[in-house]
Amino acid sequence: MKKIFKFLGYIVLLLILFVAGILVYVKIALPSVGEPEKLTIEYTPERIERGRYLANSVTICMDCHSTRDWTKFSGPITPGTLGQGGERFDQSVGFPGVYYSRNITPAGISRYTDGELFRVITTGVTKEGRAMFPVMPYQHYGQMDPEDIKSIISYIRTLDPIQKEVPESVSDFPMNFIINTIPAKANLQRMPSKSDPLAYGKYLVNSSACIDCHTQVDKGKIIEEMAFAGGREFKFKDGSVVRSANITPDRESGLGSWTEEMFLARFTAFSDSSYQPRTVSKGEFNTLMPWSMYAHMNKEDLSAIFTYLKSLKAINHSVTKFTPAQKSL
């Protein structure tokens, strides 16, 4: 009997050592995406302007890296905060830790080389080799055209520098181990020709990471069979919940009955010079959708996105778009 217990003890010890070895490997050897490229970008006016368009209207980098005013509909950016970072994403809104958007003005990124910025945007690995939690959808940016990534870098280098210290992000257990397994090498693609609106629309939908918000998740992972069918929940700090819309071409619950003109009008309504976001009182419907940013996408790009969305599999999935906070007794 003693021999059996001794044998079992050895087995348990080996299992502990095995698990410990895996954890040490994950912490020390990962993430593994390669060294940053030795890259020097030529900051031409054309490249900067392309980057401005992408960062503000397509990839909407400035959405998370600025302060949004949630007293207004759709949370428009507070003037004077463009790129300063410091937005907090924590357990109260469903994150497995406390994460902060970084300061991407020159005051925050001057220590980064162009190659290091390119790597962090497309793989989620920082200058120091740390893995970022994918609040920033770097998996999508890693599938973009490298020229577009260079344009975004060119643009953020021109932002007004804002001196703002941002706390370090911290993951809860076990995400503090899992996070190192998330980054992967970029799979960069050339931007399709605009003459192919289906392929070009797909490129833009990836660049905008539409699938991330418009698909339900299970333990943080996209439920592929429900892709673009909406219903993902986003919590506001007051306890209310907003859910993303079904943007598949289902006629009853999605975009199936929409025309291209209706789709374009939904966006351009927020780009009219007379538009002013209304004040939202506590308990009223609000949305995380940054309408005032996407609204400035050009019509050709919006049309291509609509073409691609209409090509998706139609999924019948009705969504309750908003649930107000429950009043305490």
How many CB atoms sit inside 10 A of residue 217's CB? Answer: 14
| pLDDT, position 148 | 98
The structure tokens 């030529």 sit at 42
| pLDDT, position 38 | 95
1: which 2 tokens? 């009997």
Residues of the chain with pLDDT under 50: 329
Helix (H) / strand (E) element for 323: namely strand 322-323
221: alpha, beta or left? (left if phi > 0; alpha if psi -120 to 50): beta
Q: Is the peptide bond before 96 cis (omega within 30 degrees of 0)?
A: no
| pLDDT, position 220 | 83
Spatial strand order of the sheet with 170-171 comes to 88-89, 97-100, 170-171
